[in-house]
Amino acid sequence: MRLLLAEDDHILVETLKKNLQSAGYAVDVANNGIDAEYLGNEMIYDVAVLDLGLPQRNGIDVLKNWRSSGNHLPVIVLTARNAWHERVDGFKAGADDYLGKPFHFEELTARITALLHRSSQQPGGQLNTGGIILDEELQSVITGDGKNHKLTGIEFRLLRYLLLNAGQVLSKSRLTEHVYDFDSEKDSNVIEVYIRRLRQLLGKDQIETRRGQGYVFKDTA
Amino acid sequence: MHSLQSRLSTGLLLSLILCFSALWLLVSINVNFLAEEYIASRIKHDTETLLSTIDFDEKDKLVIDTSRVDLVYNQPFSGHYYVINTLDQRINSRSLWDHTLDLVNTKTGDQLRGLQQGPEQQSLLVISNGYTKQGNQLSISIAEDLGPINENIIHFQYWFAAMALSMLFILVIVQALILRSSLKPLTRIQSELKSLEQGQLDKLSTDSPIELRPLINEVNHLLSVVEQRLRRSRDASSDLAHAIKKPLTVIQQLIDNNDIPEATNNMLIKQTSDIFHLTDRILKRARLAGHSHSGALFSFSEDLPALIETLDMMYASKSVKLTINVEDNISFPIDREDMLELLGNVLDNAYKWAAHKIILTVKLESKIHLFVEDDGPGADPEKINTLSMRGIRLDEKIEGHGLGLAIAADIVTDYGGNMRFSLSNKLNGFRVDIELPLPQKK
């Protein structure tokens, strides 16, 4: 899952980015409103964490601009100004969730997870597709035979993206976009390696290859 | 003396009494003087007439041609008398009858003037002149009764006093009326000060008498100074609260990193969350201070659904159903931000604890009544009672029902309302009752 973090406080960005990455997100940072709006319109993000007090263009305007241009990127608003009228105005501008500063990182990840599930029309709780259960907290997968397999960072990101988009044809470049951030070295051949590894865990037929198109995670549910 | 009115009236009364008395005295003295002078000039004429009637025969005997003397000198006690003295003779007018005037001889060219008692208690002005006629020295004294003219003078004085008194009376009443009407702007200023307190005005109108303008300007100046100071301290505390949040957020992220021993970590978590709650409450108090209201009014048809949508989004993972029990077209003028903050905090608390159901009831009677009930676990009844009685202090939280209710309580207090907690009869959970006085329409 690729996440846009729009926040201008360097120290906070540093810790948040590190924590979000280890929680299984490819994170890109925008430290001002104009960059944030531009990146958000790139259509490669699954979720954005948007601080309202951004320099150059404030978060509410960024959000309004996204929504008025038809961009439905799920957005969690992050702000130190957490009066209720500001929350209501934030939601009116199109926010999907709201988190007041300061916050616990667990709360942020819980909200991001819930928002991702909601936006891909998944029921609450754990991701469960055809008996394959993804534990997003422990970053492990429980296969049909009840066995629990630990996943590496990229495996986890890849499997989560596949599960959240089960039944859809996903190209290699799309998978790359949603698994890596800008700073990572991208090699779409590496995706094949990870798909092979996932097939070993989940069974060969779970992930279909569509030649010239990409991969489909079979939605057997 | 506390009453401006009675002070001014007394002052006016005293000065007018003084003024009229002085006037009365002056006029009386003058009238007396004029009357005496008038009589004196009449006497002078009579003296000259008399002198011309006097003749001395060859034996130097004094002879008067009485036919040329005014008749009034012949009527007994008429009030007009004469006495002519030579060295050895004395002629009294017939009008004197048997009365004798007390006189001294006057040398030629001299004049004496005096007052003395005449017959029948008459008060006489006596003027004696000394002459030399046909080689004989003589003095003519003519006396006239001042009684009739004095009577007139006294009559005039009474009239004058009566006029002065009634004028005094009228002036005092007129002054009271003027005073009352010129104090009217003060009544207006008083009502303006009242709306100032309620935040409906931000300064006094300067459209008032010139005498009051410096006062109004001073009050307005004071207001802007106070407002400035208030804003400065409000901004300072709000800036501080916001500034604290940044490092606090970072600290919280560090705590979450798990490389700190658990006991220390828990302590840090507690301390940071306490700091956060205090900051948040101070922030909201700072906003409430001095009625820095946004001006926009809360709308039940627009703001309430938006708030509920917000809460539904925030608690999307819970399946809580909020039932709204609000009369149609209910409306009262109340600040939008304050009302959102109040309802937001109370409803947020309910969403946090409710299992499935929340009921919000709004009633408009002589006061505004808001009830929020949930089907959560409620709270210990004893604790609820003590809380209801003494209110919520800054540093304390109701078990589980925390900061939000404290902020709500601050708002309610600021509006002069009251807030009670109990257990809900309908839903068996927590119940918050809020009563707000009806705001005056602007």
Of B245, B309, B313, the CB nearest to A97: B313
* Span B113-151, pLDDT tens digits: 988 888 888 889 999 999 888 888 889 999 999 888 889
CB contact under 8 A, A84 and B344: yes
Give the integer Cα–Cα distance in Å for A86 and B334.
17
* Span B64-109, pLDDT tens digits: 888 888 888 888 888 899 998 888 888 888 888 888 888 877 888 8
User: How many CB contacts within 8 angstroms connect chain A with chain B?
Assistant: 86
Pairing of strands A127-129, A132-135: antiparallel
Average pLDDT for chain A: 83
| Three-state DSSP state, B324 | strand
Confirm whether B337 is domain-assigned. Answer: yes
Same domain, B42 and B94: yes
Per-residue confidence (pLDDT) for residue A221, from 0 to 100: 52
CA distance B219 to chain A (A): 33
Compare B258 and B105 and report the one with higher pLDDT: B105
Give the integer Cα–Cα distance in Å for A33 and A39.
10
Of B151, B169, B197, the last residue of a domain is: B151
Tell me the average pLDDT across B220-248. 80
The ipTM value here is 0.72
CATH number of the domain to which B271 belongs: 1.10.287
Q: Tell me the two tokens of residue B195.
A: 């709306």
Tell me the average pLDDT across B357-382. 83
* Span B317-351, pLDDT tens digits: 778 888 888 877 777 778 888 888 889 988 988 88
* Span A194-215, pLDDT tens digits: 888 887 877 777 787 888 888 8
pLDDT higher than threshold 70 for residue B8: yes
Closest-approach residue (CA) in chain B for A103: B249
At B34, is the pLDDT very low, low, confident or very high (cuts 50, 70, 90)?
very high
Confirm whether B264 is domain-assigned. Answer: yes
* Span B157-181, pLDDT tens digits: 999 989 989 998 998 899 889 888 8
Number of domains within chain B: 3
Least confident segment among B134-138, B314-318, B437-441: B437-441
- Disruptive mutation site among A76, A84, A97 for chain B (greatest number of B CBs within 10 Å): A84
Q: Residue B229 is part of which domain span?
A: 213-286
At A48, is the pLDDT very low, low, confident or very high (cuts 50, 70, 90)?
very high
CA distance B442 to chain A (A): 23
Per-residue confidence (pLDDT) for residue B29, from 0 to 100: 92
Same domain, B315 and B249: no
DSSP assignment of A2-26 equals EEEEE---HHHHHHHHHHHHHTT-E
Same domain, B264 and B309: no
At A148, is the pLDDT very low, low, confident or very high (cuts 50, 70, 90)?
confident
Closest-approach residue (CA) in chain B for A98: B314
* Span B398-410, pLDDT tens digits: 444 566 777 788 8
Of B256, B276, B340, the CB nearest to A88: B340
pLDDT higher than threshold 80 for residue B283: no
Average pLDDT for chain B: 82
Least confident segment among B136-140, B185-189, B276-280: B276-280
At A123, is the pLDDT very low, low, confident or very high (cuts 50, 70, 90)?
low
Counting residues of chain B whose pLDDT is more than 90, the rounded percentage is: 12
E strands in B43-79: 54-56, 62-64
pLDDT higher than threshold 80 for residue A25: yes
Amino acid at B22: A
Q: What is the DSSP letter of B66?
A: G
Confirm whether B172 is domain-assigned. Answer: no
CATH number of the domain to which B18 belongs: 3.30.450
For the beta sheet containing B90-92, the strands, ordered from the edge strand earlier in sequence to the opposite edge, are: B90-92, B80-86, B136-145, B123-133, B111-117
Same domain, B43 and B143: yes
CB contact under 8 A, A91 and B310: yes
Of A9, A97, A118, the CB nearest to B246: A9
Domains, chain A, in order of start with CATH, read 2-119 (3.40.50.2300), 127-217 (1.10.10.10)
* B317 and A CB contact within 8 Å: yes
Same domain, B13 and B146: yes
Tell me the average pLDDT across A141-170. 81
Q: Which of A128-137, B38-47, B303-312, B422-431 has the highest mean pLDDT?
A: B38-47
CB contact under 8 A, A9 and B249: yes
At A89, is the pLDDT very low, low, confident or very high (cuts 50, 70, 90)?
confident
Note the pTM of the prediction, 2 decimals.
0.60
Same domain, B279 and B366: no
Contact residues, chain A to chain B, C-beta under 8 Å:
9, 11-12, 15-16, 19, 80-85, 87-88, 90-92, 95-98, 101-106, 114, 118, 124
Q: Which residues contact B111 (CB under 8 A, 6 or more apart)?
A: B127, B128, B129, B130
Of B236, B262, B286, the last residue of a domain is: B286
- Disruptive mutation site among B234, B239, B255, B256 for chain A (greatest number of A CBs within 10 Å): B256
Same domain, B304 and B247: no
CA distance A76 to chain B (A): 10
pLDDT higher than threshold 60 for residue B37: yes
Which residues of chain A are within 8 Å of residue B336 when distances are taken between CB atoms? Answer: 85
* B303 and A CB contact within 8 Å: yes
pLDDT higher than threshold 70 for residue B397: no
Q: Quote the crossing angle between the two packed helices A105-119 and A10-22, to the nearest 10°.
A: 60
Least confident segment among B36-40, B126-130, B434-438: B434-438
Confirm whether B421 is domain-assigned. Answer: yes
Q: Tell me the two tokens of residue A53.
A: 């007090």
Q: Which of A152-161, B1-10, B380-389 has the highest mean pLDDT?
A: A152-161
Which residues of chain A are within 8 Å of residue B288 when distances are taken between CB atoms? Answer: none
Helix and strand totals (H; E) in chain A: 8, 12
Per-residue confidence (pLDDT) for residue B22, from 0 to 100: 93
CB contact under 8 A, B246 and A96: no
Confirm whether B123 is domain-assigned. Answer: yes
Of A84, A95, A103, the CB nearest to B345: A84
Tell me the average pLDDT across A2-22. 88
Least confident segment among A46-50, A67-71, A84-88, B438-442: B438-442
E strands in A7-120: 26-30, 47-51, 75-79, 97-100
For residue A141, what is the enclosing H or E element? strand A140-142
CATH number of the domain to which B374 belongs: 3.30.565.10
CB contact under 8 A, A102 and B345: no
B254 C-beta neighbours (distance < 10 Å), count: 16
Q: Which residues contact B321 (CB under 8 A, 6 or more apart)?
A: B356, B357, B358
Closest-approach residue (CA) in chain B for A86: B337
Per-residue confidence (pLDDT) for residue B394, from 0 to 100: 42
Which residues of chain A are within 8 Å of residue B294 when distances are taken between CB atoms? Answer: 85
CA distance A91 to chain B (A): 6
Which residues of chain A are within 8 Å of residue B250 when distances are taken between CB atoms? Answer: 9, 11-12, 15
Same domain, B236 and B140: no
Per-residue confidence (pLDDT) for residue B163, from 0 to 100: 92
Look up tokens 């959970």; give the residue: B429
Closest-approach residue (CA) in chain A for B277: A102
Same domain, B300 and B429: yes
Same domain, B321 and B253: no
* B410 and A CB contact within 8 Å: no
Confirm whether B187 is domain-assigned. Answer: no
Same domain, B250 and B373: no
Same domain, B31 and B83: yes
Let me know: does B255 contact B269? Beta carbons within 8 Å.
Answer: yes
